[in-house]
């Protein structure tokens, strides 16, 4: 199952809080060595076949969707710093297998699945950091002025009826803005809620954002690990503890240029 960039970053942090004693099972050493050698060879086309696409990047940077995009954007992700960490890594001490979650380099800088496919890179190069800042600035200028003040965009998702956007205002304060599905984010939101809280759910990356308004509780569930047909997100609204709406949602990529 695909693990988005931020979910793996979250897991990498929470995992370290519990254990730093995992080591790499010998049966996985050949796939790790093959990946290291692919990076060491400098053959980007060869490395492109070892990626589980899409390769998600820090929002709002769009994911790398296929081999062609990876070859074009390779240096955005694999800067000299990351390449050195990979090729100089020690199999016995720098790599760990973390059960069904995959194989981890150092403190979650990079993740492979147990077949040796790259599934997440939490390292961010200077190029990506600069591009992320550019996209965030463009994002601030593209939305309605009432919600143009934020520190970091978190996600945008759509249900059958609503388009919902969550932004990080800083200091663990999240904002919820929603529109009818046919509206644009440049239109004034129909509802804006602040003082939202991030709620982790286990170590697999599942989490939610909760927003209160009087007797109403708006919960945006982000599903990383779920049943086979589980949606990537779910909007649940309750009033005085009673659920009044539940809609599956799809996450959408930023449409920024």
Does residue 135 lie in a domain region? no
Residues 6+ away with beta carbon under 8 Å from 44: 70, 71, 74
Range 54-69 burial, b when 16+ CB lie within 10 A, else e: bbbbbbbbbbbeeeeb
The DSSP result for 136-158, as a single string, is HHHHHHHS-GGG---SEEEEEEE
Judge if 24 and 89 occupy the same domain: yes
Judge if 148 and 197 occupy the same domain: yes
Judge if 94 and 181 occupy the same domain: no
3-state class (DSSP) for residue 24? coil
Q: What is the DSSP letter of 117?
A: -
Last-in-domain residue among 92, 127, 162: 127
Judge if 83 and 160 occupy the same domain: no
Structural domain boundaries, residue 40: 5-127
Does residue 172 lie in a domain region? yes
Does residue 42 lie in a domain region? yes
Does residue 132 lie in a domain region? no
Query: Quick one: which of 30, 164, 42, 21 has its CA closest to 96?
Result: 21
- The Cα diameter of the chain in Å comes to 60
Last-in-domain residue among 81, 102, 127: 127
Last-in-domain residue among 127, 152, 176: 127
Residues (pLDDT < 70) of the chain are 1-22, 202-205, 224-228, 253-257
Does residue 133 lie in a domain region? no
Identify the pLDDT of residue 84: 96
Does residue 73 lie in a domain region? yes
How far apart are alpha carbons 206 and 222 in whole angstroms?
A: 6
Identify the pLDDT of residue 204: 57
Judge if 104 and 183 occupy the same domain: no
**For the chain, what is the domain count?**
2
Judge if 181 and 98 occupy the same domain: no
Does residue 147 lie in a domain region? yes
Identify the pLDDT of residue 7: 46
Identify the pLDDT of residue 3: 45
216-255 pLDDT tens trace: 999 998 876 666 677 888 899 999 999 999 999 887 754 4
Identify the pLDDT of residue 254: 46
Identify the pLDDT of residue 14: 43
pTM: 0.69
Identify the pLDDT of residue 226: 61
Judge if 192 and 121 occupy the same domain: no
Judge if 98 and 171 occupy the same domain: no
Judge if 120 and 23 occupy the same domain: yes
Distance linking the first and last C-alpha atoms of the chain = 29
Judge if 31 and 113 occupy the same domain: yes
Report the alpha-carbon angle 96-61-36, nearest 5. Answer: 30
Judge if 35 and 102 occupy the same domain: yes
Judge if 169 and 245 occupy the same domain: yes
Could you give the residue ranges of the DSSP H alpha helices within the chain? Answer: 5-18, 29-41, 44-48, 67-77, 80-87, 91-94, 126-142
Does residue 27 lie in a domain region? yes
């Amino acid at each position: 199952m695909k693990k988005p960039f931020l979910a793996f970053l979250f897991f990498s942090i929470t995992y370290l809080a519990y254990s730093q004693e995992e080591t790499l099972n010998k049966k996985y050493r050949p796939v790790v060595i093959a990946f290291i050698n692919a990076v060491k060879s400098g053959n980007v086309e060869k490395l492109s076949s070892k990626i589980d696409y899409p390769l998600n990047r820090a929002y709002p940077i769009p994911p790398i969707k296929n081999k062609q995009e990876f070859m074009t954007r390779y240096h955005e992700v694999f800067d000299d710093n990351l390449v050195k960490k990979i090729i100089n890594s020690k199999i016995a001490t720098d790599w760990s297998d973390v059960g069904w979650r995959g194989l981890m380099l150092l403190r979650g800088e990079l993740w492979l699945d147990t077949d040796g496919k790259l599934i997440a890179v939490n390292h961010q190069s200077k190029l990506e950091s600069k591009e992320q800042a550019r996209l965030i600035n463009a994002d601030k200028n593209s939305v309605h002025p009432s919600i143009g003040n934020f520190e970091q965009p978190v996600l945008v998702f759509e249900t059958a009826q609503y388009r919902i956007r969550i932004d990080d205002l800083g200091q663990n304060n999240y904002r919820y803005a929603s529109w009818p599905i046919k509206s644009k984010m440049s239109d004034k939101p129909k509802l804006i809620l602040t003082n939202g809280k991030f709620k982790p759910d286990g170590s697999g990356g599942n989490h939610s954002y909760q927003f209160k308004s009087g007797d109403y509780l708006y919960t945006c569930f982000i599903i990383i690990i779920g049943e086979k047909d589980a949606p990537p997100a779910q909007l649940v609204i309750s009033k005085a503890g009673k659920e009044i709406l539940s809609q599956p949602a799809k996450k959408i990529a930023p449409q920024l240029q």
